[in-house]
Each structure stands twice: as structure tokens, then as C-alpha cells.
Amino acid sequence: MLNGKKILYSGMQATGTLTLGNYLGALKNWVNLNEEYECIYGVMDLHSLTVRQVPADFRKNARALYALYVAAGLDPEKNCIYYQSHVSGHAELGWILGCFTYMGELNRMTQFKDKALRHEDNINAGLYTYPVLMAADILLYQADVVPVGQDQKQHLEITRDIAKRFNAIYGDVFTIPEGYISQSGAKIMSLQDPVKKMSKSDENVNATILLLDGRDSIIRKFKRAVTDSDTVVRYAEEKPGISNLMDIYSCVTGKDYAAIEKEFDQKGYGEFKMAVGEAVADELEPLQKRYQSLMDDKAYIDSMIKKNDEKAAYYASKTLRKVQKKVGLTERMF
């Protein structure tokens, strides 16, 4: 608990630009959570180092992610939005927790196995201990709830296991975090292969809507979206392309499936795709404008980063000191 509210923690990696999937599946749903929770969001730049980064681009991407958080509606005065690498406690707690994590557990992580296959030339130890750092992120802030997508559930599970193991030895040090399932939001799939998740690393540019794509390119990509040979706009498992477009349309307009089916009754896929494209472009336009003005206002972003980094560092140090003491490290005198 913090300021009388439960603590919610999440974050995204600072690599490349975000996709419509990141936005509709996560970011958009984080806005307003601060009414119920004390919300802390990290720019997860240490995690991004598990794959090779070009330093100048990396720095720009991290800042862009910060600005996108704010542009999407997360008020940095009401949410603690900070840089993971600016709080040294993540790395310090990560080390300690690594000593309470078994290789057998890490060997079972499906994301490690997938990434190891994709980056065969750079299967580094950081990639392997990625879940330990993620556990440190969450436990450092005593988070009660963590909104994560399906692909991060296993990492949240191992976080809980590590925390319980630690608590069993040293007493109630860590809050055991729960997953946060949001009411709205959906898993957005590729526009070209709708059984695959929409991903920024997709080779086919038409598969993915980037948050900073212009109106024309958004509409063009939706026009080319892969559907099926049927003609009816209907939500069904055997129609993954149309169902995905319906999910997207529903997220941006707030209409449910029945209303969408009715709206496009007797109308072709072409008209539907066009409507989805327009709706998405309309949704993203104000966000993109805010993003641009934030990127131009260096002093404002800098001041928010500084203020929130300090706040995060303060919360983190409380947990870290406690952990260091519990495991028997000698108290420091400076």
C-alpha cells in the first residue's frame, strides 16, 4: 500500500516504436488506473540491453517511449513514470534474487527459449536472467498488481515463486503480486497473418500499425488486411482476420460485436476495413499531436523524468535496504 492505495506496476521495453497492439492491449487501458491504484510505470531500458542496441537510437527510443506514455494519457504528475536504469536498486535486487532462483526454473521460460532461437548469435546471460530482473522490478516496489499480457504471465509466475521462497526464509519482506486482468483491451493480431500477435519486429510492414504511422499509411494497411473468402462481418474463431478487425474497431469505438455486426450488415469487407482504418487514424491523431509537442518540450519531459526518478528511487531504496538487512549484508555507514 502506498498513500492508502494498492500499488500497480508495469512497463514496456524501450525498443523501436510501439504498435497499435501495445496501445490497445496495454497502454490505453492503463489510463485512469491511477484513480484506484498508486501506479508506477517504467521505461524498461535495462531489459532492452539483452539484445544489441545502437546507442544513439536506443536513447532516442527510450525518450520516445516516455513521451508516448504521456501522450497516451498517463499523467506524469499522477503516475510515477521513470527510467528503470536510473534506479540502481533494480540491478542490485536483481543480483540478490538471482541467488534465490534456480536454473531449472529459468530453463523452463518459454520466452527465453524463443528468443534464444531468434538471436542464436547472442544468447547472453542477460537474456537468460531476464525474468529475475523483471522480478526485481516488481518486488522492489511491493506491487500488489501487475497488468501483463499473456506472453508475460510465466514471468509473473516466477516472480511470485521467488517472492514466496524469499518470504518463507526471511519473513514477510515482499508483497506477492497478482496479475491484473483489464475489463477492456484485447490481444491485437497481425494484419497479414491474424493468428500471429501484432509485432514491431514483423518483417512485413503491412502486418503492423505503428503508433506514429500517418493516416494514409494506416488506411492503406487496413485496406490490405488479410481476411477470408466469406463476405459477412461476423465474430468467429474461423474468421481470425475479421475478428481481429472487429476487436480493433471495438477498442477504439467502444461498440460491442453485436453492434458492429449490425452496422456492417449487408456491407462488404472493403467498407468495413475502411471504417476501421478511419477510426484508428482518428484515435491516433490527437495522441500523435501530443507526442510531437512533448518531444519539442524538452524542459517539461526532463523535469518529469527527474521528479519521478527520485520518487521511484525513494520507494525502491526502502525495499532494498530491508532485503539487504534480512539476508545479512553489513549495513553501510555512508
196 is catalytic: no
Contact present, 304 and 81 (Cβ < 8 Å): yes
Cα dihedral: 317, 320, 324, 325 (round 10):
70
Our answer to whether residue 197 is catalytic in this structure is yes
Separation CA 42–CA 232 (nearest Å): 42
* Cβ atoms of residues 177 and 170 within 8 Å: no
Window of 29-37, 100-108, 134-142, 318-326 that interacts with ligand TRP by CB under 6 A = 134-142
Taking the C-alpha atoms of residue 142 and residue 140, their distance in angstroms, rounded to an integer, is: 6
Which of 33, 39, 47, 174 lies at the binding interface for ligand TRP (CB under 6 A)? Answer: 47
Site string for ligand TRP, 2-41 (x = CB under 6 A): -------xxxxx----------------------------
CA gyration radius, the chain:
21
The site string for ligand TRP over 188-227 (x = CB under 6 A, - otherwise) reads ----------------------------------------
Q: What is the DSSP-derived secondary structure letter of residue 329?
A: P
Query: 6, 197, 255, 307: which is the annotated catalytic residue?
Result: 197
d(CA 110, CA 294): 37
Q: Does 137 bind ligand TRP (CB under 6 A)?
A: yes
CA atoms of 166 and 96, how far apart (whole Å): 10
Pick the binder of ligand TRP from 17, 53, 124, 152 (CB under 6 A).
Answer: 152
Among 27, 80, 87, 146, binds ligand TRP (CB under 6 A): 146
Q: How far apart are CA 226 and CA 229, in angstroms?
A: 10
Q: With CB under 6 A as the contact rule, which of the stretches 58-66, 112-120, 130-138, 218-226 interacts with ligand TRP?
A: 130-138
DSSP string, 77-141: TTSEEEEGGG-THHHHHHHHHHTTS-HHHHHT-HHHHHHHHHTTT---HHHHHHHHHHHHHHHHT
Out of 8, 20, 43, 44, point to the residue binding ligand TRP (CB under 6 A).
44
Total residue count of the chain as it appears in this document: 334
Question: Which helix (H) or strand (E) segment is 178 a member of?
Answer: strand 178-179
User: Least distance to ligand TRP from the beta carbon of 229, Å?
Assistant: 35
Q: Verify binding: residue 115, ligand TRP, rule CB under 6 A.
A: no
Nearest approach in angstroms of CB 159 to ligand TRP is: 8
* CB proximity list for 157: less than 8 A, separation 6 or greater: none
Asked if 78 is an active-site residue, the reply is no
Please, which residue, 200 or 234, has the CB nearer to ligand TRP?
Answer: 200
Question: What is the distance between the alpha carbons of residues 250 and 319, in angstroms, rounded to a whole number?
Answer: 41
CB closer to ligand TRP out of 28 and 47: 47
Q: Which of 5, 6, 187, 200 is catalytic?
A: 200
Between 159 and 243, CB nearer to ligand TRP: 159
Binding status of residue 69 toward ligand TRP by CB under 6 A: no
Would you give the binding string for ligand TRP spanning residues 248-287, x where CB under 6 A is met? Answer: ----------------------------------------
Name the minimum Å distance from CB 111 to ligand TRP.
Answer: 8
Residues forming the active site: 115, 197, 200
Q: Name the site residues for ligand TRP (rule: CB under 6 A).
A: 9-13, 44, 47, 134, 137-138, 146, 148, 152
